[in-house]
């Protein structure tokens, strides 16, 4: 899959157009440079089960697993070491939806104008009051993970689309 760099606002828009996301790789590719690999996921065909499948079969019948398929978009986000303050990776089962006075825009790629994490960062670090620059809070809400990044500049974003094969063209 080939990736192309896009302006971060365009990458955020494309991420927000997805229904679901999976975080497939979260790592520092060099000291204090964070790379996230995020993959779109979509509801798949309904499950077909039989009575022989066991007592949970009736609960699963007609269910649609949410998975990556060959049409899903891939995203790489890079938070540069010169701008990264902190990041957290949360098991989404323990996450709380932001409540006022927290405020953000976006659906799955959230940009906070006010958050408890920004307040915490300003209270517990030297990164506050405009030093080293205005703090930004980005959150990527995925199935299984919620990733929060405090930084002083937006990430670089690259987008990978699957290659279209003749069988996929309508």
Burial class of 150 by CB neighbour count within 10 A (0 to 12, 13 to 18, 19+): buried
Closest by CA position to 146, among listed 84, 91, 76: 91
Average pLDDT value for residue range 40-44: 93
Q: Reply yes or no on whether the pLDDT at 50 is more than 70.
A: no
Residue whose token pair is 């957290």: 88
The chain-wide mean pLDDT, for the chain, equals 91
- Asked, as a colleague might, if the bond just before 164 is cis with ω within 30 of 0, I would say no
Q: Reply yes or no on whether the pLDDT at 67 is more than 70.
A: yes
Instruction: For residue 48, give both structure tokens.
Output: 């077909």
Task: Please write the tens of the pLDDT for every residue from 112-165.
Answer: 999 999 999 999 999 987 889 999 999 999 999 999 999 999 999 999 987 665
**What stretches of the chain show up as alpha helix (H) in DSSP?**
8-17, 57-60, 116-124
- Asked, as a colleague might, if the bond just before 132 is cis with ω within 30 of 0, I would say yes
């Amino acid at each position: 899959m080939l990736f192309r760099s896009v302006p971060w606002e365009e990458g955020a828009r494309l991420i927000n157009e997805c229904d679901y996301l999976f975080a497939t790789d979260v790592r520092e590719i060099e000291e204090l440079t964070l790379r996230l690999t995020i993959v779109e996921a979509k509801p798949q065909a309904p499950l077909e089960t039989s009575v022989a499948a066991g007592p949970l079969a009736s609960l699963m019948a007609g269910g649609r697993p949410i998975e990556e398929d060959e049409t899903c978009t891939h995203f790489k986000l890079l938070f540069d070491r010169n701008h990264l303050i902190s990041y957290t990776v949360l098991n989404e089962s323990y996450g709380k939806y932001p409540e006022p006075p927290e405020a953000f825009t976006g659906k799955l790629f959230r940009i906070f104008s006010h958050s408890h994490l920004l307040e915490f960062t300003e209270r517990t670090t030297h990164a506050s009051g405009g030093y080293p620059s205005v703090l930004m809070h980005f959150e990527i809400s995925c199935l299984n993970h919620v990733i929060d990044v405090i930084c002083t500049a937006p990430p670089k974003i690259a987008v990978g689309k699957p290659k279209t094969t003749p069988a996929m063209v309508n």
